[in-house]
């Protein structure tokens, strides 16, 4: 029940600050852009578009969300409440994944991508991992500019290999790199689906525990004592 209320609270927060309006607008823009491309290019453009924006939105927006919570003393209240750190993390991740999945579905249908459910699954996993990475960086950043600087090396590692993989079809690397697996699923590829999902689950668990450590450290600080 507590987690459900936290998720609803985050959804209301995102709606209040224009996240849903922004992505309704972006979805319309993306649809118009996709229709401007010839059919042969439309699929690859759509895959890169889904991966680089709705799937990765947690990496870009988590800094603004957490820094705003810091400035409004929301974290101070949460740190001394019965809410668990795991519930806080999950509410952030799930609420952003909802937006990511909806937008990716709209883009995928527009571009006539195959295996829409697999596309949504790939987006969901990518969104979770990116949101967790965003939380890690946001917990270390004291300003939005610092957060943006911290995201640069993450963006290079997370975006360059998968996008190159799509453009050049280097399928040999797809089974070795988790972010390549995400973009492969977003493309609708269902070959070695079970193995891909297991790798992404393992990746998610590892990043979650790292995120838990960093969020725990910031909660100790805003809670007023060091444990």
pLDDT band at 17 (very low <50, low <70, confident <90, very high): confident
1-10, 63-72, 126-135, 215-224, range with greatest mean pLDDT: 126-135
Q: What is the mean pLDDT of residues 183-202?
A: 88
What was the pLDDT predicted at 203? Answer: 93
DSSP labels for 82-111?
S--HHHHHHHHHHHHHHHHHHHHHHHHHHT
* Rounded distance between C-alpha atoms, residue 90 and residue 96, angstroms: 10
Name residue, tokens 């450290």.
217
Kindly calculate the radius of gyration of the chain based on its CA atoms and give it in whole angstroms: 18
**Best mean pLDDT range from 89-103, 147-161, 162-176, 199-213:** 199-213
Global pTM reads: 0.89
C-beta separation of 99 from 65 below 8 A: no
Output the CA–CA distances (angstroms, integers) from residue 122 to 70, 128, 180, in the order listed. Answer: 31, 10, 10
Q: What is the mean pLDDT of residues 201-219?
A: 91
CA distance 148 to 145: 5
Q: What is the mean pLDDT of residues 51-80?
A: 81
Give the angle 213-217-223 at the CA atoms, nearest 5°. Answer: 140
Q: Which residue has the higher pLDDT, 27 or 225?
A: 27
Q: Is the pLDDT of residue 127 over 80?
A: yes
């Amino acid at each position: 029940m507590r987690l459900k209320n936290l998720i609803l609270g985050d959804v209301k927060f995102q709606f209040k600050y224009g996240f849903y309006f922004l992505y309704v607008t972006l979805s319309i823009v993306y649809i118009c852009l996709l229709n401007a491309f010839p059919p042969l290019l439309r699929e690859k453009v759509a895959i890169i578009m889904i991966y680089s924006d709705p799937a990765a939105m947690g990496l870009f927006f988590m800094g603004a969300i957490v820094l705003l919570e810091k400035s409004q003393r929301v974290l101070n209240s949460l740190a001394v409440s019965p809410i668990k750190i795991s519930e806080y993390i999950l509410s952030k991740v799930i609420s952003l994944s909802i937006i990511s999945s909806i937008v990716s579905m709209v883009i995928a249908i527009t571009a006539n991508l195959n295996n829409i459910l697999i596309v949504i699954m790939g987006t969901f996993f990518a969104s979770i991992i990116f949101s967790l990475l965003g939380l890690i960086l946001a917990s270390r950043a004291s300003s939005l500019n610092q957060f943006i600087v911290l995201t640069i090396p993450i963006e290079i590692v997370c975006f360059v290999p998968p996008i190159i993989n799509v453009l050049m079809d280097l399928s040999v690397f797809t089974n070795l790199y988790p972010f390549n697996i995400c973009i492969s699923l977003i493309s609708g590829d269902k070959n070695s689906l079970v193995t891909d999902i297991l790798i992404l689950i393992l990746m998610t668990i590892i990043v979650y525990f790292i995120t838990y450590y960093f969020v725990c450290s910031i909660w100790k600080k805003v809670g007023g004592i060091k444990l």
